[in-house]
Structure 1
Amino acid sequence: METIKKLLSIYPKRTITLTQLEELMKPYIDTYGEFSNIILNLESEEVLGMVKSKGRTTRTPSLALQYRIDKRLLATNHHMALQRFRNVLHPSINIDAYYRKDPSIWQSDLPYIQKVDEYIKKYSFPTEKVPAPERSFELVGDEKWVVEKRGKELLEQIGVFDKLNIIPVSEPLMFAINPTNIQNTTQLHLIVENKTTYQGLLPALVEAEFSTLIYGCGKSVIKSIEQFSIQYPLNAHHQFFYFGDIDREGLLIWHSLTKRQPTYLALPFYRACLEKTAVEGKEYQRESEEAQNLFLSFFLPEEQDKIRKLLAEGKYYPQETLKTEELQKIWRESDWKALISMS
């Protein structure tokens, strides 16, 4: 019966015909008597309600030709099941998010949650960091699960990813270090999207108040930023700035990055770009309204209007709009810490 209820809970519609019910339940029943008994029990529990206008069959026992599925009642059963698991899973495993999700997602994730639960109860949380594939194999017997099969997302959702000491698998983060600033208690780090800008700023790194200059390599930084604390294990308050192209792709890269690592916009560079002439050629890029709105919120109203207009027209500002000398001057002379306090 529980299996049938689970199938009904994920059925895409709120009404179902008797024929569709037979198809749904065919793998689990052998006779009409078994089928009708289950349907009548679901009727008595009010999980299934007769659509009166469609009538009933003439067979004995008689069944409705069409039913309404009480998804709310099925959700109540789902919540009761979650409560039972909360009482048996390790206290560190938080399944509250599943109260808001479709029961089918819980059923899909449950086998993995149980394996993680078994691991924690047997070994407790590990004290040594190991690469993601190794920990993934220890947890569920599949070395690809954490990185390639939603494992990281699930572990974060149940609140144990950080406790499992997993070294992320991603490309190394590429950056240069300013040795004069590595002892500072607050350290600034500039991420730039393109190689030309990185090479242009590099000679001025020792003159800037930044500890590192990071080459973002387009979208790569969204993933490789995970490596920062491992590659740069200095105990300090780290603040990140980002400078990329003013186009839809550049906005989306920053937006995705700041979800993983809060990152300020390097506004002095962006504002210098807005003083130049935009160029054609980015009509094809995918638009993200969420990324655009958040990006624009850091600019003055007249700047927002200008950026909206150029994006709508398929124009953009590449980082290369700013020449090396101008880049370096902006980097040296801007009050970066004041920008943090204003945000």
Structure 2
Amino acid sequence: MNEEFEQNLLTFKRKTITIDELEKLIPATITYEEFSALILQLEQEYVLQIIKSKGRNQRTPSLAYHYRINKHQLNRAYHQQLQAYRLKFNDAIDLDAYFHLNHTTWVADLPYLEKVNTYIEKNGFPIENIPAPERSYELVYDEKWIEQKGSEVLKRINLWNTMKILPVSDPLMLAINPNTITEENHLHIIVENKTTYQALLPVLPSSSFSTLIYGSGNKIPKSIENFSNQYPVEGNHRFFYFGDIDQSGITIWHSLHRREPATPALPFYQACLHKTGAHGKTNQRPNDKALTAFLDHFPKKQRHIILDLLDRGAYYPQEVLKTKELQTICLETDWRHVKA
């Protein structure tokens, strides 16, 4: 209960809190004695600082009516806990990401991290690739864990590749440029629709891209997990993404970007902005977080153009760019210097 309670304090919007508000942050089944013991402990740890002018109640033990929340101290305690688990866990489990994430994520992941650590200590690291459900059951005794959230956890602690997991998602549909196989740095372009894929395919061997990947709409955030198995080429890999400029296309990019960082292919998107927008997609759900992240890649003036477009219920399909335009942009852009 203490960890959950402290997380509630961290996310509480104000810097001060009343005793009544504190009581609402705990389960109704907790007795006053248990509640007061917790509050007094947090007083001693300087997490809750008494506002003396507001006084204390008359119950036993007595608590203050108002407190100031020391969120710096709460984060300090959280970081101390992370340091303790660093010493406890196998050295291969990288906890660095959690220092930049909120406590809720850590609390949710910890039971699985403990099971992964137990597996490593008992079995060492796997030497053969096996399907995700089988590996998932080996690690945490839940065959669906990797598919549902475990892949994110394993990537967060830098163990995804080490655990030799064969994703069960649909195979990635891609074309390979044979002229870049021996290079050290590889660029990959993912396109949302078949039309754009077919348009770029003929010029792939002459381009700076190592692969042309057909995203197939919402399938790409999951199927990208198969990339390293389908293109086992050593070197540095950077992904670009080009989809429709609409709520759905932006959300697909954001879902992909959270799994595998992918830079919006700005030269393609920017070319769309010189065209006339289309109308008709009025039932798409906006995703404010995805839109904000997407717009961050564009200059200020172009952000306003996109926002105005979406506010008017308009959009740009990839097909607004003709085959010749797509091919010219693909071949004439210095993709290695396009900013992330």
- 1: CA distance, partners of 2:192 / 2:271: 16
User: Given that residues 201 and 328 in structure 1 are in contact (C-alpha distance below 8 angstroms), is that contact kept between their aligned partners in structure 2?
Assistant: no
- Write the distance in 1 (CA, Å) between the matches of 2:99 and 2:5: 17
Q: Mark the CA change 1:155 to 1:311 in structure 2 (over 3 Å): closer, same or farther.
A: same
Task: Quote the offset at 1:331 in angstroms.
Answer: 1.7
Pick closer, same or farther for the CA change 1:207–1:111 going to 2, 3 Å: closer
Match of 2:17 among 15, 18, 42: 15
Give, in angstroms, the shift of residue 138 of structure 1: 1.0
Matched-pair contact (CA < 8 Å) for 2:54–2:64: no
Matched, 1:56 2:73: no
Task: Provide the rounded CA distance (Å) in 2 between the counterparts of 1:290 and 1:22.
Answer: 34
Q: Map of 1:3-82 to 2, 5 A cutoff?
A: 5-6=2-3, 8-12=5-9, 15-17=17-19, 21=23, 24=26, 49=50, 53-57=54-58, 61=60, 63-64=62-63, 66=65, 68=67, 71-72=70-71, 73=73, 75-82=75-82
- Residue 142 of structure 1, CA deviation: 0.8
Q: 1:77 to 1:282 in 2, by over 3 A?
A: same
> TM-score normalized by structure 2?
0.73
Paired-residue identity, %: 39
Q: Cα gap change, 1:109/1:241 in structure 2, threshold over 3 Å: closer, same or farther?
A: closer
Uncovered stretches (5+) of structure 2, i.e. residues with no partner: none
Rounded to whole Å, the distance in 2 between the matches of 1:270 and 1:108 is 38
Q: How many residues align?
A: 325
* Deviation of the 1:98 alpha carbon: 4.1
For residues 9-62 of structure 1, give each alpha carbon's deviation from its aligned partner in whole angstroms, at most 9, with x where no partner exists.
Answer: 234555353797599487566x96x877776666666666476535432x6x55
Give 3-state SS (helix, strand or coil) of 1:68's partner. Answer: strand
RMSD of equivalent CA atoms: 4.1
Say which one has the larger Rg. 1
SS state at 1:127 partner: coil
The 5-angstrom pairing of residues 183-198 of structure 1 reads 183=181, 185=183, 189-198=188-197
* Runs of 5+ consecutive residues of structure 1 not aligned to the other structure: none
Match of 1:290 among 286, 290, 293: 293
Q: What is the match of residue 334 of structure 2?
A: 338
Residue 270 and residue 153 in structure 1: after superposition, are their counterparts in 2 closer, same or farther (change >3 A)?
closer
Structure-to-structure mapping, 1:1-343, within 5 angstroms: 5-6=2-3, 8-12=5-9, 15-17=17-19, 21=23, 24=26, 49=50, 53-57=54-58, 61=60, 63-64=62-63, 66=65, 68=67, 71-72=70-71, 73=73, 75-99=75-99, 103=103, 105-148=105-148, 150-177=149-176, 181=179, 183=181, 185=183, 189-202=188-201, 204=202, 208-209=206-207, 212-235=211-234, 240-258=239-257, 260-263=260-263, 265=265, 267=267, 269-270=268-269, 273-282=272-281, 284-285=283-284, 286=286, 288-294=291-297, 296-297=298-299, 306-323=305-322, 327-328=323-324, 330-331=326-327, 335-336=331-332, 338-341=334-337, 343=339
Q: CA-to-partner distance for each residue in 1:107-128, whole Å, 9 max, x for gaps?
A: 4433222211111112222222
CA 1:212–1:9 in structure 2 vs 1: closer, same or farther (change >3 Å)?
A: closer
